[in-house]
A = this chain, B = another copy of it.
Amino acid sequence: MPVATPISACDDDLAAVRYDANGLVPAIVQDGDSGDVLMMAWMNEATLRRTLESGRTVFWSRSRQEEWAKGDTSGDRQWVRRAYYDCDGDTLLLVVEQEGRGACHTGERTCFSRRFGGD
């Protein structure tokens, strides 16, 4: 059973994040074990704070217009081990421990399983 590890981010770090016109920032999720990029989803300021404080990824669903804590339904929770923001402050990177089958609703471990030009 993975353990939540809350991250105490300082105000300067949180203030450096730049949200788009909809108040959202893209968040890349990477598997801390394999290094695979698992998925990309969106956060607003509230879900970023919830992610850091709870130690689990929480996103904003643009289609449903609501918060979703990844894995609440599927059990495929993501436990945050490290969290970064980029040089422009407009993209996040969460390095996680992926619980369960994987990140993708299709059942694949990563959402990036379709390759241009085939295998």
Contacts and interface: CB of A to CB of B under 8 A. Distances in A.
A50 to B, nearest CB: 13
A93 B112 CA distance: 7
Chain A at the B interface: mostly helix, strand, loop or mixed?
loop
Interface of A: 7-10, 13-14, 16, 26, 28, 30, 35-37, 39-40, 52, 82-88, 91, 93, 104-106, 108, 111-118
Contacts of A36: 35
Nearest to A39: B86
Given A40-B26, A40-B28, A114 B13 contact: yes
A116 B28 contact: no
A86 B111 contact: yes
Given A93-B112, A112-B93, A83 B40 contact: no
- Shortest 10 CB-CB contacts between residues of A and residues of B: A35-B35, A9-B116, A84-B112, A86-B111, A7-B117, A83-B116, A40-B91, A93-B112, A87-B111, A13-B116
